[in-house]
Amino acid sequence: MAMKTLLVPVDLSDVSKPVLEKAAELAQELSARVVVLHVAEPVATYAPVEATEDLVIPSPPPVEDFSATNSRLKSLSEPLEAVGVKVETVTHAGLVVDDIFEQAAKYHADYIILGSHGHGVPYHLFSKGVVTNALKRANCPIIVVPLGV
């Protein structure tokens, strides 16, 4: 039987740590590995051309930003490794929801674990946040960890 994989996208905010703690608990129960993913979204640049043809141009984050991100991911992952959870960290530049599902497919994720900033069900049904969009596109179970409730 193949080892289960938990994909845990994190935004490196204060909610990343409690989400990873829950992922560690589940990983221990399932004897699963954890893939910690951070997606660096491009920052749009506004380029006025003419009043009717203004452009918004996405630009990728600078590559040198990834070394600090990778260090932060490693630091966040150390408590999981300390309790015997196999962890892999991935930093990727792109669009968050698209990349979550690309990486879920790449790593054959059995579950995706997302943190929610304490909003209720109606918020997620009608908002355009990461959790909402992920729930709409899910092709594997998504576990939402409520935070800040």
**Domains in the chain, number:** 1
Q: In what order do the strands lie in the sheet with 5-9?
A: 87-93, 33-40, 5-9, 111-116, 142-146
Cα–Cα distance, 126 to 40 (Å, whole number): 25
**Tokens coding 95:** 């669009």
Of residues 43 and 145, more confidently modeled: 145
Structural domain of residue 29, as residue ranges? 5-146
pLDDT of 149 > 80? The answer is no
Phi/psi class of residue 38: alpha, beta or left (left: φ > 0; alpha: ψ in -120 to 50)? beta
What's the CATH code of the domain at 79? 3.40.50.620
> Which of 1-5, 45-49, 59-63, 64-68 has the weakest average pLDDT?
59-63
CA of 75: how far to CAs of 13, 16, 17, 81, in Å? 13, 11, 10, 10
Cα–Cα distance, 12 to 38 (Å, whole number): 8
Burial of 75 (0-12, 13-18, 19+ CB in 10 A): exposed
Specify the residue for token string 């845990």. Answer: 8
Question: What pTM was computed for the model?
Answer: 0.78
pLDDT tens for 81-94 read: 999 999 999 998 88
The identity of residue 95, as a single letter, is L
Q: Which residues pair with 58 in a beta bridge?
A: 44
Of 138, 133, 85, 55, the residue nearest 76 (C-alpha): 85
